A and B are shown apart, each in its own frame.
Chain A
Amino acid sequence: MKYDIRYKPAFATIFLTLQPGEQIFAEAGAMASMSGKVAMDTGFFGGLIPGLLKAFLGGESLFLNEFTNKTQSPQEIVLTQSSMGDIVQTQLNGGSLCLQPGAYIAHTKGIKVDLQWAGFASWFSGEGLFKLKLSGNGMIFFGAYGGLSEKNVTDSFVVDSGHLVAYEPGIKLNVGLSGSMMGSLTSGEGFVNKLEGSGKIYLQSRSMGGLVKFLKPKL
């Protein structure tokens, strides 16, 4: 499958070419435009029950769209995200990657999407009750609000809540305060993710929570 991520980093958008028989799965609403010959179907995200859980508790869409090229010639499709910011493609070769709510955009065949319980602590810190775990062999696309930074964590690392986009499953997430209770309240950092273990993580340079917090008193 050929792809090109254009208008990086502020307005990153995925331009995909589907070869005959090829398929891409994408988050509901991600399709901006496509050739009229691409077939589209709608299914549940990760099956009906996990899909329901995800919709009601995880705050994301219950549905996943499937785009297939059933013709004999290459067809184009353009996928994007709701927020402004960068998009990254990664190839999974038997490994897996966990995505925070809102980051997922699309994946190819061969990738399995699981919904996993992230815990109340995660929800409390604004990271959602569930996380998506993608594993298998194939490509995945995910996006951020702002720029995306990739980092290798080897022992432990602290990330402000709302800035973590994706992480490898070798990393365990704990929610904590950035300092003492009083210090956390006054420093403006509030809750943070305390990561332990080793693996790759992706950070976003802005947070939707930050934008919302900025806008709230201005309404």
Chain B
Amino acid sequence: MKMLIAIIKPFKLEEVREALTGLGIQGLTVSEVKGFGRQKGQTEIYRGAEYAVNFLPKVKIEAVLDDALVGRAVEAVQKAASTGKIGDGKIFITDISHAVRIRTGETGTEAL
């Protein structure tokens, strides 16, 4: 099993969700995060005092998948989340060694 972690622009969340569920992925976790990459932040000004805001709001999606789906999932997310401009985000893949469905006790890919 693999975990797909995608950091995307917040307004792309719906598109990416649809792309993943379209592949048959049945669950995912979403969190609101802050971060920066090559996209620089904005400058805020309060009564003449300028503050550079370095962190931008992003959305992080985590989905645990069967190894067989990973390639198509990455492609689907990249296509759905892309705007072509700096700040589109990144996708990471990590290994998952174990999974359990709490209600039934199923393990492994049965739990996904």
- Asked if chains A and B come from one complex, the reply is no
Residues of A within 8 A of B (CB): none
